[in-house]
Amino acid sequence: MCESRHSLFRIVLTLVTLAVLAGCTQASVLRNKEPDAKPSQHVRVLLMPPEIELAELTAGGLVAPRADWTEQATRNIIEALRAELQAKNAELILYEPPQDPQKRYRYDQLIKLHNAVREAIAYHRNRDNGFRLTTKDRDDLDWTLGADVRLLREEFDADYALFLSVQDLYASGGRKALTFMLSVLYLFPVLPGAGQYGAASLVDLHDGELEWFNRFASQTGDLRSPDAVRISLENILKDLPL
Amino acid sequence: MYKYLPALMLTILCTACGAPATREELPDAVPGYTPDKSTDEAGLWMHMDLMEEQIKTSGQLVRDPELNRYVRDVACRVTGPYCGDLRVYIMRVPHFNASMAPNGVLLVWTGLLLRATNEAQLAYVLSHEAGHYLRRHSLQMWRDTERKSSLFTVLNVIGATIGVPGYAYDIAQLSAIGGTLKFSRDSEREADRLGYELSTVAGYDPRQAPLLWEALVKESEADDDSEPWIFFSTHPHTKERIATLSKLAEQAARNSGDDALGEERYAKALAPWRGMFLRDELQQRRFGRAEVLLDRLIASGRGLGELYYYQGELYRLRRADGDQEKAQQAYRQALRYQDAPPETHRELGAVYMQSGAAQQARAAFQRYLQLRPEAEDREMIRAYMEQLS
């Protein structure tokens, strides 16, 4: 009798731990230590094509992309972002690929350059993996995309470019059941592995410097719901210098 | 009772796992098809749309409008009403491959364009890939993988609970992987048949497909990397494919029109590119297969000046015993034809120089500078010539 009560206690403890861990949210922000002054009171922020993908995590651990959720989430994020920036006296502009193939090629290459820089920052800064660059201050953000970004400034009349990449996983019913079963069996919290992961960065289009960079992760949130997106966005845009 | 429940479940699941995988048969995609947004298929398409954006900006993409138009026209000729659903991208990758994504992205590697010797062979490969699209093989495969991986996870959880020895899982997992690969080979067989049908109906000589595979087998046999283990290969064993395709080809009456091979058109479209593709091939330093490939292209008798030049390059780069003589022979052979690149003189000059034939070396270098007065390496060649005098 006594023993079974003890087990019950452990199960409850497990579930509590599970609940606590499930609420885990992280934002790892880097800011340029010598930011340029804001060009004006009212700034225009160009949202580069956001890389958003929502997917379902199947029982077997396969990531099954969902087109309908992704569409909904993209709409929600853009609307919430617009409102959020408006509150900071900033205007959101959406990137439209130009018709001219030459221009398009150049802009595409700028986007790819940014993505390469983003990977480099994530790799060299955000991990204690021994790959820290001795030329880069751990707490500073001194990366630039170069002067060519002025092309974007001129085309869209924008002061900053905002890049956003989010992968958002939702555990399927089967996966939730399975991990719950495991947690109970091992008396240890086993998480389904769902959550939001991604990176956001703000580039000054006057000189190409990255002003702000955030790698975020969250076990909670639902980008499919317009209300919940606002909460997620707080984490995504943490300490945005606007 | 509870004690036996997991064991019971495991037994049931294991039986399901071991049963031969039945393929979920899907209706063919119709022209202009797009999946409903809420389906798993739409998810796959969306994912591939993102990949397509990467392909469009890739440094490996061959953007030349002429070559793209040519390959696309062949694809359209064999796929007819589906032409509008396919988007062809030529990627500069020096290996034989083409692939089809569920959303209609058809990737063609330059190593394939180098190895096909006529339009009928290209048409066959494109038809094969279109077959994957029509039959929605990616979706079939995805659903099969999803089902098996979920089953496995459940098995693992139950097994961990009741303590089944680890090797039991290795065996079960191996059988499931084998099942998935068999599934993939079945899809390939189906695409082979469809590819054969589509290209034959479009008027191409059906006997070209087995010829192409035969050539690939010879190359792969000469290659330093051996063929993959059959059990784990996703494609049916190539020899088996040749047999099947030859049989299919015999069954069909030969289309005797001039268009059945499209050799002339193919050679014309590829002519500006073949040199680059051959350079890419030699850069792999897989000389065994490159030697077989060059012999075959030379036997086809088109653009011999260029081909002998690259044969010379192969021997120059390989540097095995006797290769210097072979290189010299190949360069000299190349110069018998009008289309030998001017660089042939330079390389021949270098070979002569190494073997101490100063006068011949000077003459060859001289000729090179005459043909390429603006060559980037002209000063270096002049320095060689001074050294030789």
- Encoded tokens for B240: 């088996």
Separation in Å, CA of A105 to nearest CA in chain B: 7
Higher pLDDT, A102 or A23: A102
Share of chain B above pLDDT 70, in %: 80
A&B contacts, CB < 8 Å? 61
B64 shares contact with chain A (CB less than 8 Å) = no
Confirm whether pTM is higher than 0.90.
Answer: no
Looking at residue B343, its amino acid is: E
Say whether B46 and A60 touch across the interface (CB within 8 A).
Answer: no
Contact predicate A160/A45, CB 8 Å: yes
- Encoded tokens for A92: 């959101």
Contact predicate B262/B204, CB 8 Å: yes
**Selected residue of B2, B44, B46, B148 to mutate for chain A interface (largest A Cβ count, 10 A):** B46
Q: How many CA atoms lie within 13 A of B191 on its CB side?
A: 27
Sketch out chain B's domains with CATH numbers: 5-261 (no CATH), 275-388 (1.25.40.10)
Which chain B residues are within 8 Å of A64, Cβ to Cβ?
40, 43, 146
**Selected residue of A68, A119, A165, A172 to mutate for chain B interface (largest B Cβ count, 10 A):** A68
Which chain B residues are within 8 Å of A169, Cβ to Cβ?
none
Mean pLDDT of B296-305: 94
Say whether B157 and A181 touch across the interface (CB within 8 A).
Answer: yes
Say whether A68 and B57 touch across the interface (CB within 8 A).
Answer: no
Lowest-confidence pick of A18-27, A144-153, B178-187: A18-27
Q: Is the ipTM of this complex over 0.85?
A: no
Rounded to 5 degrees, what are φ and ψ at A79? -65, -45
Name the H helices within B57-164: 65-79, 110-115, 119-134, 137-162
Which chain A residues are within 8 Å of B45, Cβ to Cβ?
67
- Encoded tokens for B125: 């490969």
Which chain B residues are within 8 Å of A60, Cβ to Cβ?
146, 148-153
Say whether B37 and A58 touch across the interface (CB within 8 A).
Answer: no
Dist. CA A131–CA A137, nearest whole Å: 13
Say whether B42 and A64 touch across the interface (CB within 8 A).
Answer: no
Rounded to 5 degrees, what are φ and ψ at A200? -135, 145
Which tens digits make up the pLDDT trace of A162-212?
A: 999 999 999 998 888 888 888 888 888 877 778 899 999 999 999 999 999
Q: Where is A174: in which H helix or E strand?
A: helix A173-186
Instruction: Report how far apart the first and last C-alpha atoms of chain B are (Å, whole number).
Output: 99
Say whether A61 and B149 touch across the interface (CB within 8 A).
Answer: yes
